Structure 1
Amino acid sequence: MDTILKVRDLEKFYKNKGSLTKAVNHISFDVQSGEYIGIMGASGSGKTTLLNCISTIDSATSGQIWVRGTDITVLDKRRLAKFRREELGFIFQDFNLLDTLNARENIALALAIKGERPGTVERKVQEVAADLGIADILDKYPYEMSGGQQQRVACARAVVTKPSLVLADEPTGALDSKSAGMLLESFRMMNEKKNATLLMVTHDAFTASHCKRILFIKDGRIFNELVKGSRSRKQFFDEIMQVVSYLGGGLSHAV
Structure 2
Amino acid sequence: MRTVLRVENLEKFYKNKGSLTKAVNHISFEVQQGEYVGIMGASGSGKTTLLNCISTIDHATAGHIIINGKNVTGMKERSLAKFRREELGFIFQDFNLLDTLTGRDNIALALAILGEKPALIDKKIDALAAELGIKEIIEKYPYEMSGGQQQRVACARAIITDPSLILADEPTGALDSRSAEMLLNSLEMLNEKKKATILMVTHDAFTASHCGRILFLKDGKIFNELIRGDDTRKEFFLKIMQVVSLMGGERNHAV
TM range (shorter): over 0.9
Q: CA deviation at 1:252?
A: 4.7
Q: Deviations over 1:35-82 (max 9, x none)?
A: 000000000000000000000010000000001110000011111011
Q: CA deviation at 1:253?
A: 2.1
Greater than 3 Å deviation, 4+ residue runs: none
Q: Deviations over 1:229-252 (max 9, x none)?
A: 001111100000000011113x55
Letter in 2 for 1:254: H
Matches within 5 A, 1:212-227: 212-227=212-227
Q: Deviations over 1:70-129 (max 9, x none)?
A: 000001111101100000000000000000000000000010111111121111111111
For structure 2, the 5+ residue unaligned runs are none
Look up the SS of the partner of 2:20 in the other structure.
strand
Matches within 5 A, 1:100-249: 100-249=100-249
Is the contact between residue 241 and residue 251 of structure 2 (CA under 8 Å) also seen in structure 1?
A: no
- Specify the alignment match of 1:55 in structure 2: 55
Letter in 2 for 1:226: L
Query: Cα RMSD between the aligned structures?
Result: 0.7
Is the contact between residue 103 and residue 139 of structure 2 (CA under 8 Å) also seen in structure 1?
A: yes
Is the contact between residue 202 and residue 208 of structure 1 (CA under 8 Å) also seen in structure 2?
A: yes
Identity %: 72
Look up the SS of the partner of 1:192 in the other structure.
helix
In structure 2, the CA distance between the partners of 1:22 and 1:79, relative to structure 1 (3 Å rule), is same
- Specify the alignment match of 1:95 in structure 2: 95
Is the contact between residue 206 and residue 253 of structure 2 (CA under 8 Å) also seen in structure 1?
A: yes
- Specify the alignment match of 1:253 in structure 2: 252
- Specify the alignment match of 1:6 in structure 2: 6
Q: CA deviation at 1:147?
A: 0.3
Look up the SS of the partner of 2:111 in the other structure.
helix
Find the aligned partners of 2:86 and 2:128 in 1 and give their Cα distance.
17
Letter in 1 for 2:7: V
Q: Deviations over 1:141-183 (max 9, x none)?
A: 0000000000000000000000000000000000000000000
For structure 1, the 5+ residue unaligned runs are none
- Pair 1:28-2:28 in alignment: yes
Please, what TM-score do these two structures have when normalized by structure 1? Answer: 0.98
Q: Deviations over 1:2-49 (max 9, x none)?
A: 000000000000011111100000000000000000000000000000
- Specify the alignment match of 2:82 in structure 1: 82
Find the aligned partners of 1:229 and 1:112 in 2 and give their Cα distance.
39
Look up the SS of the partner of 2:140 in the other structure.
coil
Letter in 2 for 1:53: C
Letter in 2 for 1:189: M
Find the aligned partners of 1:217 and 1:120 in 2 and give their Cα distance.
42
Is the contact between residue 95 and residue 150 of structure 1 (CA under 8 Å) also seen in structure 2?
A: yes
- Specify the alignment match of 1:68 in structure 2: 68
In structure 2, the CA distance between the partners of 1:148 and 1:252, relative to structure 1 (3 Å rule), is farther
